[in-house]
C-alpha cells in the first residue's frame, strides 16, 4: 500500500472486505480518465467502461486490462459471489456479476471508496 492513511470506511472496505452502503458514494466526474486503487494507485478501470447500473455502486463492464483485477469465490453472507480485488495489492474492490451490458455481459460492482479518479 502506498504511504496514505485510509479513512475508516476505506479501510473497512479495502482491507476487511466490507461494503459501503448503496448510493452513499458521491460519484465521480463524467469526464475521460482512469479509476485507480485507493491503496496502491494502480489503474483498474477506464471511464469509458463505466455505466449507470442503478445498483447504488459504480459499475464497469470491464477492467482497464485483463490483469488489473483478480477474482476469488466469496461464500460470505449465505451467498456464492465472485469477489473482485486489486491484482497488485489485493485490496477488496467489490464483486462482479453476469448481468452487465453487451458485449462482456459483466457488471463490475465496485465500492466507490476503493477508487480514486485520475482525469486524462
| Phi, psi angles (nearest 5°) of residue 24 | -95, -15
Catalytic residue among 37, 39, 86, 109: 109
Laid out side by side, the sheet with 59-60 consists of 50-51, 59-60, 107-110, 92-97, 81-86, 69-74
- Residue 87: CA count within 13 A, CB half-sphere: 12
- Is 86 a catalytic site residue? no
Q: What is the CA radius of gyration of the chain?
A: 13
> Active-site residue numbers?
109
Amino acid at each position: 500500500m502506498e504511504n496514505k492513511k485510509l479513512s475508516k470506511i476505506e479501510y473497512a472496505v479495502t482491507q476487511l472486505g466490507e461494503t459501503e452502503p448503496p448510493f452513499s458514494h458521491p460519484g465521480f466526474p463524467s469526464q475521460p480518465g482512469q479509476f485507480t486503487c485507493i491503496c496502491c494507485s494502480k489503474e483498474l478501470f477506464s471511464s469509458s467502461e463505466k455505466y449507470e447500473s442503478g445498483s447504488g455502486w459504480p459499475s464497469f463492464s470491464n477492467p482497464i486490462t485483463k490483469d488489473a483485477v483478480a477474482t476469488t469465490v466469496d461464500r460470505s453472507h449465505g451467498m456464492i459471489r465472485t469477489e473482485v480485488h486489486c491484482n497488485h495489492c489485493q485490496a477488496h474492490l467489490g464483486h462482479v456479476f453476469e448481468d452487465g451490458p453487451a458485449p462482456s455481459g459483466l457488471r463490475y460492482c465496485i465500492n466507490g471508496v476503493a477508487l480514486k479518479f485520475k482525469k486524462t
